[in-house]
Amino acid sequence: MTRERDRHPGRRALLGAAALGTGAAALGGTGAAAAAEPAGRGHGLPVPAVIGHRGASGYRPEHTLGSYQLALDLGADVVEQDLVPTRDGHLVCRHENDITATTDVAAHPEFAARKTTKTVDGTALTGWFTEDFTLAELKTLRAKERIPGTRQRNTLYDGRWEVPTFEEVLVWAERQGRRRGRPVWLHVETKHPTYFRGLGLGLEERLAGLLRAHGRHRAGSPVFLQSFEPSSIQRLGGLVGCPKVVLLPAAGRPWDFTVAGDPRTVADLVTPRGLAWIAGFAQGVGPDLSLVIPRDAAGRLGTPTTLVRDAHAAGLVLHPYTARNENTFLPADFRRGTDPAAYGDALGAFRTYFEQGVDGIFSDNPDTALLARADFLGARAAG
């Protein structure tokens, strides 16, 4: 692994390993073990990095400043944002432009007439959509838990936070970075970029403008840019120098490929040839965890694929998604009991993925991921 990384300075630069922050240390973090990785050129992220998925969405409603703050306080190395636009062109943090399940919009009679059906990336959806609201209107709403049946305790925080703009997140990250004496890394996704470009709401130019205004547009800036549409990453490459990651779902075809008539699928992109193509304009891939270790018909883990090895050979980092604590999300091997909302052996599952050699992992539960990383690195050091 070390020789492989040394052959790819672009990848090595993303993997610089410094001591973990105080949050990770408080959780039994492993600064010394992480520092055993190649030092690279100083980005300072431990390997494997823990990425707070939509913040700490296992404990707070996703994509709120409360969720982001908790992820950072728990020790996450990176905090993720998904971006969609408002009607007047502001970028806000929501996993989808359909805000029916993540806000209290249905309780606002003044917006009842805006409920509609739209086709987004080939799928018909009925609800309320960010592109039909101005930012001022959106700010009258409050966020709520998206999956209350699984995360009932998170409903305690329904209504506490508003929908943040990405600019507000950048200001928050700068403030937190000054307080902690180290930059706060962000992992920023453009959602449905082809769809929004068709509406005249191109995401990439708006995102690049905000990054430039806040000094986060350079190759060494503490921000990853990610998208399920390779063309969005290519467009961003012409605007900013930040490291970029192509996201890969379990199967299917990127929507921009469908629109352009490109016949390639995810199965093509995870081959050595496909990964080499991605490496021509991106520095990493973010695969669904099933592309690292498939699950069988019973939901149990099968034989690992060669994706980690092949991506590393192409000089790409791997940040797979998403590790979660609840039985309903875990491989069957690690479920405990029959309650889908109960926690299973998440530590064991997370360690299994770390053992594949991934460079980071998205998790709704950053504290669990940090403990699993400490176990993994400790066992590796002892072995």
Q: Which of 138, 198, 192 is nearest to 165 (CA)?
A: 138
pLDDT for residue 297 = 97
Tell me: pLDDT of 215 over 60.
Answer: yes
Amino acid letter for position 248? L
Cβ count within 10 A of residue 343: 18
The residue from 8, 53, 187, 217 that is catalytic is 53
Amino acid letter for position 381? A
| Mean pLDDT value of segment 348-353 | 98
| Known catalytic membership, residue 8 | no
d(CA 351, CA 134): 44
Buried b (16+ CB within 10 A) or exposed e, 230-269: bbbbbbbbebbebbbbbbbeeeebbbbbebeeeeeebeeb
String of DSSP letters for 314-373: TT-EE--B-B-SBGGGS-GGG--SS-TTSB--HHHHHHHHHTTT-SEEEES-HHHHHHHH
Amino acid letter for position 27? L
Inter-axis angle of helices 166-180 and 203-213, to 10 degrees? 30
pLDDT for residue 257 = 98
pLDDT for residue 18 = 33
String of DSSP letters for 139-163: TTS-B--S-TTT-GGGGGGTTSS-P
pLDDT for residue 43 = 53
Rg of the Cα trace of the chain? 20
Tell me: pLDDT of 61 over 60.
Answer: yes
Tell me: pLDDT of 4 over 60.
Answer: no
Strand 223-227 versus strand 91-93 pairing type: unpaired
d(CA 258, CA 197): 15
| Mean pLDDT value of segment 71-84 | 98
pTM: 0.90
* Mean pLDDT, all residues of the chain: 91
| Known catalytic membership, residue 95 | yes
**Residues linked to residue 362 through DSSP beta bridges, in sequence order:** 51
CA dihedral 41, 43, 45, 49 (to 10 degrees): -100
| Mean pLDDT value of segment 18-47 | 42
Question: Domains in the chain, ordered, with CATH?
Answer: 2-53+70-81+169-382 (3.20.20)
| Tens digits of residue pLDDT in 151-181 | 999 999 999 999 999 999 999 999 999 999 9
Please give the backbone phi and psi of residue 83, each rounded to the nearest 5 degrees, phi first. Answer: -120, 135
The residue from 63, 95, 192, 217 that is catalytic is 95
Tell me: pLDDT of 218 over 90.
Answer: yes
Query: CA of 281: how far to CAs of 67, 95, 136, in Å?
Result: 31, 25, 37
